[in-house]
Amino acid sequence: MANQISPEEVAKRLQNSEEVFIIDVRENGEVASGKIASANNIPLGQLALRKGELDKEKSYVVVCQSGNRSKAACGILEALGFKVEDMIGGMNNWNGNIE
């Protein structure tokens, strides 16, 4: 079970210029309405196919719209050997900047 992280904690890390690697697992159409600036968009259905784009040395924060898909994505990524944190409540709870 992935660790959970609050949207506020993610925002705080970004404000502190910490290295935060965010994977947004929403579909392209959803991301078009705005995403966290540094997020890498990899839709949930493409995660296993695109795992080569990720680095097992890094820890990733996984984001979706409401928190359901990010939970599933964390399960997939953990099974593939990646370190992940699940952002609680997804973009619905995000009050930080979006692009």
Catalytic residues: 64
CA distances from 73 to 35, 85, 89 (A): 17, 10, 14
49 DSSP assignment: T
Strand order in the sheet with 83-87: 3-5, 83-87, 59-63, 21-24, 40-41
Q: Are 65 and 88 in contact (CB under 8 A)?
A: no
